[in-house]
Amino acid sequence: MVRTTKISLAVAALAGALSFSSIAMAADPHAAPTPDRQSWTFGGPFGKFDQAQLQRGFKVYREVCANCHSMSRVAIRTLADEGGPQFSDAQVKALAAEYKVKDGPNDSGEMFERAGRPSDKFPSPFANPEAARASLGAAPPDLSVIAKARSYSRGFPMFLLDAVIQYQEHGADYIYALLNGYTDANDPNWNAYFPGHKIGMAKPIDNGAVEYTDGSPATLQQYAKDVSAFLMWTAEPKLEERKKTGLRVMIFLLILAGLVYFTKKKVWANVQH
């Protein structure tokens, strides 16, 4: 009798929960399509960035994105870091020198421009967001952590499962989908994946816009893939180190758990509990 009450209550509660979620599905008014899940080298517990892809992605960023978007929290020197694009120190120095950086004040109290150094952050294309808005109509977001600042809802129960399957690349998938989402030939500001579909950024890149030297196809899809990976790296430059450390920690904790378990078992062997 008690058991049946319990089961019937559980069933009732479960049915209730399911009906809520079906209400949710039907009532969602912001129905932008869900970005497709791409396969990334940096996904999963053993994920690593593809160095060549990051280098290509940087090229796309530099020649296209950087014309409007700042990336002010990323230091140029990190392009040489392990777990990143890993340009050589000499390459990074030369790259840095191509940027003009505002510095000062000098001895006469004036600000001046100098060649960039690796220790500088990437200089912004506009002095401030207001200047960007005045020139472009809207201030483009900073790209430093954009791949972590963008996401999309996977709904119940996928959002819970994502923790188990370690799906963490929502941002990169969204950026990839967005760059491929300019599907209205008549309206450069229409985007399939942007909430509300009207995006301030007109179609920024198309086939052949950036020249690749490593034989990768110069297509929009390839650009989008590479620059999304690059932006994942700028958002999470320690990703490789994190996953590598995590593997060691997990192995250690599993061994420790086994040791503590058997110790505990041995100590408790003489106790009724």
Least distance to another protein, CB of residue 148, Å = 4
Q: Closest CB to another protein among 218 and 255?
A: 255
> Is-contact 83 237, C-beta < 8 A?
yes
Q: Closest CB to another protein among 48 and 238?
A: 238
Least distance to another protein, CB of residue 2, Å = 4
Q: Closest CB to another protein among 213 and 270?
A: 270
Least distance to another protein, CB of residue 180, Å = 20
Q: Closest CB to another protein among 54 and 210?
A: 54
Q: Closest CB to another protein among 202 and 256?
A: 256
Q: Closest CB to another protein among 61 and 223?
A: 61
Least distance to another protein, CB of residue 12, Å = 9
Least distance to another protein, CB of residue 88, Å = 16
Least distance to another protein, CB of residue 59, Å = 22
Shortest CA distance to 233 belongs to which of 241, 245, 222? 241
